[in-house]
Amino acid sequence: MPELIIIFVIALIIFGPRKLPELGRSLGKSLAEFKKASNELKSTLEEEIRLEETRSTFEASKAATEAAKSTAAAAPAMAHADAPTMAHADEAVPVRTVDHSA
């Protein structure tokens, strides 16, 4: 507090009583503009960070979905390779006829 009083007295001596209110208004406007600009910058940075996190989450889920599709497509082929003698319900089974006349 004492420092502010000293600064105020020095400003009063340098600028005079007529200019001091004008300087105070100018200083107040400058501080308000600076605060507004810094808040806008902060909100812009937070929005960019949030968008980047959303983008990376989306890309990770997309990669996981593609990996799951690849695994699901490879699983039936592997099961078919493991059991070549088994017929599936949707596959055609050849029919053999036996000749009993002989």
For 33-79, the pLDDT digits (tens) are: 999 999 999 999 999 999 999 999 999 888 888 888 877 776 655 55
Q: Cα(74)–Cα(67) distance, rounded to whole angstroms? A: 11
Q: What is the pLDDT of residue 9?
A: 85
Q: Cα(12)–Cα(18) distance, rounded to whole angstroms? A: 9
Provide, rounded to the nearest whole percent, the portion of the chain with pLDDT above 70.
75
> Is 0.75 surpassed by the pTM of this model?
no
Q: Is the pLDDT of residue 18 over 60?
A: yes
Q: How far is CA 51 from the centre of its chain?
A: 4
As a whole number, the mean pLDDT across the chain is: 81
Q: Cα(82)–Cα(76) distance, rounded to whole angstroms? A: 10
Provide, rounded to the nearest whole percent, the portion of the chain with pLDDT above 90.
32
